[in-house]
Chains A and B, each alone.
Chain A
Amino acid sequence: MTSPPPPTGSMQLYDSVTPGMSAGLHRVTSTVAFQTAGSTPAVHHDFVNVGGSALHVQPTEVLACHPPRNATGGFDDELPHVVLGRRTLPWERPGVHGGPWLALLVFLDEEVTFSSGTLSSALPGSVVAAFGTDDALATATADFVHVNDQATLNAVLPAPAETALLSHVRRVNLADTALDIGDDDGWLAVVVANRLPLRPAEGPEHYHACLVSLEHRDDLYSGKPTSTSLILLYRWDFITDSDGTFQKLCEQLDIGTLGAVPGSTDSDGRLPLPLTSREGVAGTGLYRGPLTVSASAATTDASDVSYDAAYELGRMLAAADGAMCRELVDWHRASASASQTAVQHAQIMAWAERNGAGLADLGELPTHVHAAAAGIHTVLRTMAARAPHRRTVAAAGEAGDG
């Protein structure tokens, strides 16, 4: 168990992982080894009950099942299987002929019925007796699957030697999220069914995948079976249909580039949209989204509103985000106070130069700071005329010039 996990993208397969102790009552015997004349030390006995439910598999133990629960599709070449998070689970109890106690059986809807109740309500007396006389077990409620006729059960039930072949353990790298399916130690037990779902000629076909217990069920293989009921530990349903596999859907995809709607978009992939100008005149604007065929959407066409729409959207998204507004205002404020300090610096240096005050110059300041010191108000007033209240459409190639 201390060997390094397999590399990402790989997995290791193991035949089985048997627990150190099987379920049931264990006796621990301890003695002290010394000798005195005439007496031997007392032998001490302790009992340990290794539990684990014989009647249920917790839904949390089931990491994945395939075909997916309630999925519809053509699963006719896929073997249903269930992935269990506890790697020892299939081998924790004795099955038939030493095999695992879990088996995954797949039935058509009309082949089975389900019920729940105590053990004695569904199973023959000999099987109930084999489970022992534990009161808790006798009164506990379990789920059962009843196969409608013996022939169907015989056809589906794996032979004792096959049950062993149908359970294995996988070890994957936990970093490989595609494989570990949310497991916590990278070890997974897998129980596989032996029945391929049929692809129906028409209409959907409803299947039940049933994880059943084979513990104490030697009677099923005795040649004279007394019951067609099994303890149902976990169950999910799926539906086969004449199409709907991943492959089929992929092959039927309509492939193309984003851009043109015949009869609607122009040669640049722009879509005409009704538009009302600021003056209230109804007209048509051209819009093209950011996802296009050719990257250069540059146009000087006044009716192209693509970039104006983008500008407005960006503004609205930022304005709708409280933290964004706050941070932007802080950014402006910090910048204003920084430039104010710089302007004062330039003023002081200019004054010092005039009056020979002998202050140490503290490095180069950008020219715009000196310009600002000379007359920031004049500069800003001239700039106000081209403040970007509404962005004019600029060619994408020269969009970097500000």
Chain B
Amino acid sequence: MAERLLGRYGKAALQAHLDRAAALEPGDDAPLPDYVANFLVQLRLAHNVPFSYLVPDQALLPSESIRFFTVDEGWFDAAMEGALAVGTANVRDTEHVTRSLPAVRAAVRAAVPLAAGQRRGTVTRRAFAQIVNAAITAADAPPDVGGTPPVTGMLLRSSLVSGWPGFAVRAFTTTDIGFQADPSTVPADENVPILRMELLSPSVLIVLFAGIPALVWIEEPHHGIQLGVDDDNGTDVINPVNPDGSAPNPPKPPVPVPLRGTSGPKVIDIASLAAQLGAASPADLAVQLLRPPYRQRFATQA
């Protein structure tokens, strides 16, 4: 073949051919297309996986239940391998897949934590695929995937899902978070990022975490932050707060809510309530009436 090329085109053509070969990637491999890289990561996050594959028996997830789980990476490795088996027309293609598989698998596994950024639009599909490809190229030997955090998650099947759209789920690596703590004050390394949070059906929610949470919150949606009263052994009361909304120290005694009249509709005597709370203006009164959204905590047992 070299003789033929040399005889027909001369030494310059040979050298040009060599230059072309030199321009190839060191691994002599074409980069994984953007679409494929994205497809594989989505697959690893169980996108488009039919519900019966995830939960093969209804008894695993009864209604009004919450179930925590760990993701079996081997299962998704197998699914990924199946996806890559598509489009192989001949032995060369299957050999190509077999050869690339370890590096692709490791790169896609390592890229899964970035999927959260991609869903929020902070990482573009193109950039994402470049990260995967860089990881493939760098992986001469299959990298140790033990370093990436395991993917865990929860499934919630409840009328909470359909009745309170937009409720918040937060996960932390420690149970040492106060009951009314402001999540923005929690150090970043104590947060467990959410990889996927999506409705699988109107009443089933799946949440995937990048790591193992010790504490998971479900928080009532903030829609319009509610206003209301507190219940103190059957009596409606207001627990006074400071004008800036913070809890007073020492706590002030609760103020019973004054009602108009004695029976019939439960109408609050707003003027009297405002006077008792020392709230002279609408904004002052609103601060006192604000209710923090309810939070349900799920913690690992110490």
Within 8 Å by CB of A384, from B2, B91, B283, lies B91
**How near does chain B come to A72, taking the closest CB pair, in angstroms?**
8
* Chain B, range 61-113, C-beta contacts under 8 Å to A: 61-62, 64-89, 91-99, 101-102, 105-106
Instruction: Determine the distance from Cα of A288 to Cα of B28 in the docked complex, in whole angstroms.
Output: 38
**How near does chain A come to B238, taking the closest CB pair, in angstroms?**
11
**How near does chain B come to A177, taking the closest CB pair, in angstroms?**
9
| Interface: A122 (CB within 8 A) | no
Instruction: Determine the distance from Cα of A195 to Cα of B268 in the docked complex, in whole angstroms.
Output: 6
**How near does chain A come to B95, taking the closest CB pair, in angstroms?**
5
* Chain B, range 113-131, C-beta contacts under 8 Å to A: none
Within 8 Å by CB of A402, from B71, B102, B158, B183, lies B102
**How near does chain B come to A387, taking the closest CB pair, in angstroms?**
4
Instruction: Determine the distance from Cα of A295 to Cα of B71 in the docked complex, in whole angstroms.
Output: 6
Cβ A315 vs Cβ B266 within 8 A? no
Asked, given contacts A251-B296, A325-B86, whether A192 binds B286 with beta carbons under 8 Å apart, the answer is yes
Asked, given contacts A324-B83, A338-B28, whether A314 binds B78 with beta carbons under 8 Å apart, the answer is yes
Asked, given contacts A195-B265, A341-B21, A347-B2, whether A78 binds B228 with beta carbons under 8 Å apart, the answer is yes
| Interface: B188 (CB within 8 A) | no
The residue on A at minimum CB distance from B298 is A255
* Chain B, range 27-51, C-beta contacts under 8 Å to A: 27-30, 32-36, 39, 43, 46, 48-50
**B296 cross-chain contacts in A, Cβ below 8 A:** 247, 250-251, 253
Asked, given contacts A325-B86, A402-B102, whether A152 binds B64 with beta carbons under 8 Å apart, the answer is no
* Chain B, range 1-34, C-beta contacts under 8 Å to A: 1-3, 5-6, 11, 14-15, 17-22, 24-30, 32-34
State how many residues of chain B have any CB contact under 8 Å with chain A: 134
Within 8 Å by CB of B24, from A16, A273, A321, A338, lies A338
Within 8 Å by CB of A178, from B87, B150, B222, B271, lies B222
**B88 cross-chain contacts in A, Cβ below 8 A:** 332
| Interface: A342 (CB within 8 A) | yes
**A259 cross-chain contacts in B, Cβ below 8 A:** 60, 69
Cβ A327 vs Cβ B267 within 8 A? no
Instruction: Give the segment of A26-34, A275-283, A301-309 that binds chain B.
Output: A301-309
Instruction: Determine the distance from Cα of A48 to Cα of B198 in the docked complex, in whole angstroms.
Output: 52
Instruction: Determine the distance from Cα of A195 to Cα of B33 in the docked complex, in whole angstroms.
Output: 61
**B81 cross-chain contacts in A, Cβ below 8 A:** 311, 314, 388, 391
Asked, given contacts A336-B92, A348-B18, whether A194 binds B268 with beta carbons under 8 Å apart, the answer is yes
Instruction: Give the segment of A216-224, A226-234, A351-359 that binds chain B.
Output: A351-359
| Interface: A313 (CB within 8 A) | yes
Cβ B271 vs Cβ A315 within 8 A? no
Cβ A313 vs Cβ B49 within 8 A? yes
**B68 cross-chain contacts in A, Cβ below 8 A:** 256-258
Within 8 Å by CB of A336, from B25, B26, B96, lies B96
Cβ B30 vs Cβ A246 within 8 A? no
| Interface: B247 (CB within 8 A) | no
Of listed B43, B64, B266, residue having the most chain A CB within 10 A: B266
Interface SS majority for chain A = mixed
| Interface: B190 (CB within 8 A) | no
**How near does chain A come to B197, taking the closest CB pair, in angstroms?**
13
Asked, given contacts A293-B70, A332-B96, whether A155 binds B260 with beta carbons under 8 Å apart, the answer is yes
| Interface: B57 (CB within 8 A) | yes
Cβ A315 vs Cβ B222 within 8 A? no
The residue on B at minimum CB distance from A400 is B142
**A330 cross-chain contacts in B, Cβ below 8 A:** 33
Interface 1/0 per residue, B252-280 and A, CB below 8 Å:
00000100110011111011001000010
Cβ A391 vs Cβ B18 within 8 A? no
Cβ A363 vs Cβ B142 within 8 A? no
**A309 cross-chain contacts in B, Cβ below 8 A:** 53
| Interface: A261 (CB within 8 A) | yes
Given contacts A363-B22, A391-B78, A402-B101, 12 further A-B contacts (CB under 8 A): A9-B183, A73-B163, A247-B294, A256-B66, A258-B60, A295-B73, A295-B150, A311-B85, A313-B82, A327-B33, A341-B17, A402-B98
Binding site for B on A (CB under 8 A): 7-9, 11, 13-16, 63-66, 68, 71, 73, 77-79, 81, 83, 108, 152, 155-156, 158-159, 161-162, 164-170, 178-179, 181, 190, 192, 194-198, 244-247, 249-259, 261, 264-265, 271, 273, 287-298, 306-319, 321, 323-325, 327-332, 334-336, 338-339, 341-342, 344-345, 347-352, 357, 359-360, 362-363, 365-366, 368-369, 380-381, 383-384, 386-388, 391, 394-396, 399-402
A-B contacts, 6 listed (Cβ < 8 Å) = A292-B69, A295-B72, A310-B82, A335-B96, A380-B92, A400-B142
* 9 A-B pairs closest in CB distance: A314-B82, A396-B74, A334-B30, A314-B79, A328-B87, A345-B21, A351-B2, A362-B22, A250-B296
